[in-house]
Amino acid sequence: MMLEARRITLSYGPHEAVKDVSLHLEEGQCLMVIGPNGAGKSSLIAALSGSKPYAGTVLLNGQDSKALSPRGRARLVGVLSQRQAVHYAFTVEEVVRLGRYPHRKGWFSGADPAGEAMVDRALAWTGMGEMRSRSILSLSGGERQRAFLAQVLAQDPAILMLDEPADSLDLKYQKTLFELTETWARQPGKAVISVVHDLSIARRYGSHAMLMHHGKCVAQGEKAVVLKADNLNTAYGMDVYAWMRDLSRPWI
């Protein structure tokens, strides 16, 4: 098992954003975390990636996440956050190359051709190759998100955690992103957890799903089971299927 989380609770002061959530992720799985606003999806990612202090246990490849060194954890888990605020004019290439940090041997380790090749591949996968010398400040929100996606791909972690990754992307790059993650999860020793709002994307690209509501897990497992009308209607407080049917009526 690549990731096992037992009874995770994450609080902001008196408010419990994630309450007693357990989950597991096997190799090759692409777990889509869905739920309404404030359900605790991003907080769950923060706990699983060790970004925020939490109660409970997270095992990464059988090792307790809290016992891992920051570099060791970053080799196992890579995170693409919701928003990327940058203040200085780093080039895209410099931002992406930082993804190789957990693999760096030491201060005087010299050249890293394999790492450089990974940076080049990540830039190519995300369509940022031609923008590699551009300042990150000159990019649009979507382009910036792709640069940081390239960074996390260059990081080459075992588990890719994406927190609403498609928010600022146009349709072409949404498709590219989720196809990439789908391909990523198929590699040996890899898996993906992604927070998404779009249920169609969860259904199309996820192998499994987890539905959250008020910080708790309402359902998890095979996507077909989790995405049942009853579960969705309870979590979202509306007739989800009716709205989806309305949206998917032929419009051209």
Partner 1 sequence: MTPSGEVPSGTSPALLLLMGKDRRSEGYGLAAWLVMGAVVIAIALLCISLGSVSLPLKVTWQTLWDAILGREAADGVAASILVHVRTPRVLAAGLSGAALALCGASMQGLLRNPLADGSTLGVSSGASLGAVLALAFGFQLPGLPYAGTMLMAIAFAFLSMLLILALAYAFDRSFSTHTIILVGVIFSMFAGSLITLVMAFSGEKLRSIAFWTMGSLAGSDYTQGLLLTLTLMACGGLLVLRAGELNAFAIGEENAHHIGIDVRSVKLQVLISVSALIGVAVSIGGTIGFVGLIIPHMVRLLTGPNHRRLLPASAFAGAGFLMLCDLLARTLLSPVELPIGVVTSIIGAITFVAIIFRRRGRRAA
Given its phi and psi angles, is residue 13 left (phi above 0), alpha (psi -120 to 50 degrees) or beta?
left
**Cβ(169)–Cβ(181) under 8 Å?**
no
DSSP annotation of 215 reads T
User: Footprint of partner 1 on this chain (CB under 8 A)?
Assistant: 49-51, 69-75, 78-79, 81, 84-91, 93-95, 97-99, 101-102, 104, 107, 110-112, 116, 133-138, 148, 151-152, 155
Q: Taking the CA atoms of the chain, what radius of gyration do you get in angstroms?
A: 18
Strand arrangement of the beta sheet that strand 216-222 belongs to: 77-80, 159-163, 191-195, 30-34, 208-213, 216-222
- Shortest distance in whole angstroms from residue 167 CB to partner 1: 16
- Shortest distance in whole angstroms from residue 15 CB to partner 1: 17
- Shortest distance in whole angstroms from residue 159 CB to partner 1: 12
- Shortest distance in whole angstroms from residue 225 CB to partner 1: 31
C-beta closer to partner 1: residue 79 or 209: 79
Determine the length of the chain.
252
C-beta closer to partner 1: residue 85 or 247: 85
- Shortest distance in whole angstroms from residue 73 CB to partner 1: 7
Q: Please, which residues bridge with residue 222 across strands?
A: 208
Task: Dig out the tokens for 102 from the structure.
Answer: 């957990």
CA distance 249 to 21: 36
CA distance 24 to 19: 16
C-beta closer to partner 1: residue 70 or 237: 70
C-beta closer to partner 1: residue 15 or 249: 15
**Cβ(222)–Cβ(190) under 8 Å?**
no
C-beta closer to partner 1: residue 40 or 78: 78
